[in-house]
Amino acid sequence: MDILVSSLGEIIVSLKTAGQVFNNSWFFTLPPIFYFLFKILWLEHIRDAYVGAATWVLLEIIAPKNIEKSPKPMESLFVGFAGVEKGFSTYENNVDGMVTDFMSLEMVSNEGTVHFYIHVMKKHRNLVEAHLYAQYPDVEIMEVPDYVDNFPAVMPNSQWRIWGADIATTKSHDAYPIRTYPSYEETVTGTMIDPLAGLIEVMGKIGPGQHIWLQWVIAPTSPSWNSTTGKELAEKLKGKEKKKESLFEALLKDITDVLTNIFKYLSGPVEFAAEKKKDEQPLDTRLSPMERDVLKAVEANLGKVQFSTKGRCLYVSKRENYNMSIGVSAVWGALKQFGDDNLNGFKPDGESKTSKQYAFTKTRLDYAQRKLYRRYKNRSRDGFKTVFSSEELATLFHLPDISVLAPAMSRVEAKRGGAPANLPIE
């Protein structure tokens, strides 16, 4: 009993001492903590307000019936949209909450009917339409109501179930490209195999009460990304990566050099050692064929316009129709076709994946699903992001060609044309 009372007394004394220390130091320890916390919350608030104040439209893109083009023409849309990128002043960033304009590319299967949508600020609608009509003269573009408004404000609930995740990449460095449309060409016949064919076929297989939503929210990056972050990987693959020394390492190196040579310097003139040059072999002999292919793909990818990209995939279904094998497994299997073991690929992001284990699984699962559903509806860019080039985006989102015969694909039945030039005018 005496030991317990003594221990309790020591705890009280320790708490009292800690309180005195806090009382004497709070004015210089708390402000930095609150400043960074306030800055995070403030920036989130003003940026949400800035994006929310914009007028948005949802455009449905209906492909021509007999389109015979590769995904390459779609690149012109992304290159054109890259023109909205600009720098912001400190005031614009921290007071107005201004961010680079973005748009959302969406493939949606509503009970087996596949639609292509672009969610964009109204001020950029003409830009989107101009580039699409320039490359696909017979395409049909319509402003439609937002399909997410047809669903409950909060899901999951007693009638609906959800499974979803952010789309993450298998490689940690964003400069590694995924498998893009040039590699889908048949080597014997030269025929282009549409990269979206398998994914559209899977999305068209779901039935009543089931919906698959695939979303890519993109914003152009600064051109400096290619020459800094991207170039770092290219230099590393070439074996020319420069080791970055910390300030402490550089200081320690200088002190060691002085101490080991001090007596030599005192007895004679200072001589600086000549820098030794390494005998470097040519890349063709130093790198294996696979390493050369990876380096070539990375450098070719860095020559394109780059976009900060947020990917999400959701399977939304009535509880009685829920089928995880087609709504989840088959979709992620179709997404894996864009992967290359030597380059990059897709996987569900573990942080956002709506499956939980261990303690409080039901509560944590509901929270994760509702957060992901809310972020999808808001086209939020929160969570895992990667960087894709215009070529990668054109591979993931383009108008399928005539070889994609999925009955779920809606297409323009009649060809658009102007009026004859010789009509009589009264």
Is residue 7 one of the residues assigned to a domain? no
Strand 56-64 versus strand 411-412 pairing type = parallel
Q: What is the pLDDT of residue 419?
A: 46
Is residue 272 one of the residues assigned to a domain? no
Give the range of the structural domain holding residue 188, as residue numbers without chain letter. Answer: 37-230+288-405
Q: Where are the alpha helices (DSSP H) in 192-230?
A: 197-203, 224-225
Amino acid making up residue 242: K
Contact between residue 126 and residue 229 where contact means Cβ atoms under 8 Å apart: no
Residues forming a β-bridge with 185: 192
How many Cβ atoms are within 10 Å of 51's Cβ, its own excluded? Answer: 19
Q: What is the pLDDT of residue 383?
A: 84
Residues in the chain with pLDDT values less than 50:
419, 423, 426
Is residue 87 one of the residues assigned to a domain? yes
Is residue 276 one of the residues assigned to a domain? no
Quote the CA–CA distance of 403 and 114 in Å, as a whole number. Answer: 16
CA angle 403, 406, 411 (to 5 degrees): 80
Quote the CA–CA distance of 369 and 314 in Å, as a whole number. Answer: 10
Quote the CA–CA distance of 61 and 391 in Å, as a whole number. Answer: 19
Q: Which tokens belong to 389?
A: 């080039």
Q: What is the pLDDT of residue 263?
A: 61
Maximum separation of any 2 CA atoms in the chain, in Å: 113
Q: Residue 423: exposed, middle, or buried by beta-carbon count in 10 A (0-12, 13-18, 19+)? A: exposed
Is residue 417 one of the residues assigned to a domain? no
Q: Print burial letters for 311-340: b (CB count within 10 Å at least 16), e (below 16).
A: bbbbbbbeeeebbeebbbebbbebbebbbb
Cα→Cα distances 418→132, 138, 422, 423, Å: 18, 11, 12, 12
Is residue 173 one of the residues assigned to a domain? yes
Give the chain's domain count. Answer: 1
Is residue 2 one of the residues assigned to a domain? no
- pLDDT tens digits, one per residue of 387-421: 999 999 999 999 887 666 555 666 565 555 554 55
Contact between residue 131 and residue 76 where contact means Cβ atoms under 8 Å apart: yes
Q: What is the pLDDT of residue 412?
A: 60
Is residue 91 one of the residues assigned to a domain? yes
Contact between residue 137 and residue 72 where contact means Cβ atoms under 8 Å apart: no
Residues forming a β-bridge with 64: 412
Q: What is the pLDDT of residue 258?
A: 65
